[in-house]
């Protein structure tokens, strides 16, 4: 799956995988950490940042687009100016 082919369905599947993962595992100790979810394999990665997760994947010679979130947040980073 190339980055250009990422669809809303991929996002929905990754979010469903994450919701199911949270039902099975207690992630409260990981609050604030980055989480990367692979919708193709269902694998979940944790790290200090998205870059850290990418480095972990690279060490295992795995390359796949992921949905990144922060544990405890529905987003990875929020972009916007001050009001």
Residue-wise pLDDT for 49-65, tens only, equals 999 999 999 999 999 99
Beta 67-70 vs 44-47: how paired, if at all? unpaired
CA torsion 63-50-26-8 (nearest 10°) is -70
pTM score, whole prediction: 0.85
Containing 46, the helix (H) or strand (E) segment is strand 44-47
Hey, which bits of the chain come out as E strands? Answer: 34-37, 44-47, 67-70
Sorting pLDDT into bands at 50, 70 and 90, what band is 78? confident
User: 3-class DSSP state for residue 59?
Assistant: helix
Per-residue pLDDT tens for 16-26? 999 999 999 99
């Amino acid at each position: 799956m190339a980055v250009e082919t990422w669809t809303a369905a991929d996002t929905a599947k990754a979010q469903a995988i994450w919701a199911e993962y949270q039902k099975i595992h207690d992630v409260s100790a990981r609050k604030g950490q980055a989480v990367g979810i692979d919708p193709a394999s269902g694998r979940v990665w944790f790290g200090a940042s998205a870059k850290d997760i990418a480095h972990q994947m690279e060490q295992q010679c795995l390359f796949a687009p992921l949905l990144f979130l922060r544990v405890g947040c529905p987003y990875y980073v929020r972009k916007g100016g001050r009001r």
